[in-house]
């Protein structure tokens, strides 16, 4: 055993002079603020020649045509809407293939129903499935 016990008292690490700290940035969190109060914008849907709200269902609906003023049963065209594509994409991911992709396109509930007058072929409105 050599008694070469060195003085291992190492030098303390030199203190780094801290730079002068500027004022800390204000921690404005985006999530801590009060909820923005949305100004109420009244959307006035002006529908001329419309004495009452036309309640359009997902299927042919009997009503009075505002154009030709005849009692008609609407002719419905089903067109794929955005949800059709979303459901289709979702089924594609879930099923792992495109076997189920066509299903939403065959489902009326996934399509927007466009109502037309069979007499004057006026577009009467559309009904989105909810
Ligand atoms: Zn009509």
The rounded Å distance from CA 76 to ligand 1 centre is 13
pLDDT of residue 60: 94
In the chain, where the domains are located: 62-127
The rounded Å distance from CA 73 to ligand 1 centre is 10
Each residue of 11-27: pLDDT tens digit? 666 777 776 776 766 66
Each residue of 77-118: pLDDT tens digit? 988 887 777 777 777 777 776 566 666 676 767 788 999 999
The rounded Å distance from CA 63 to ligand 1 centre is 10
The rounded Å distance from CA 34 to ligand 1 centre is 51
pLDDT of residue 121: 96
Q: Which residue bears the tokens 């299927």?
A: 59
d(CA 107, CA 79): 10
């Amino acid at each position: 055993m050599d008694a070469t016990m060195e003085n291992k008292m190492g030098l303390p690490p030199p203190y780094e002079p801290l730079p002068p700290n500027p004022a800390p940035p204000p921690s404005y969190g985006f999530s801590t603020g009060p909820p923005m109060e949305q100004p109420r914008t009244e959307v006035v849907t002006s529908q001329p020649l419309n004495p009452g709200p036309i309640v359009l269902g997902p299927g042919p609906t009997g009503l009075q045509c505002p154009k030709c003023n005849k009692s008609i049963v609407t002719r419905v065209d089903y067109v794929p809407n955005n949800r059709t594509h979303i459901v289709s994409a979702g089924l594609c991911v879930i099923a792992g293939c495109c076997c189920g992709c066509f299903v939403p396109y065959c489902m009326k509930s996934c399509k927007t129903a466009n109502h037309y007058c069979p007499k004057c072929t006026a577009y009467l409105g559309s009904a989105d499935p909810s």
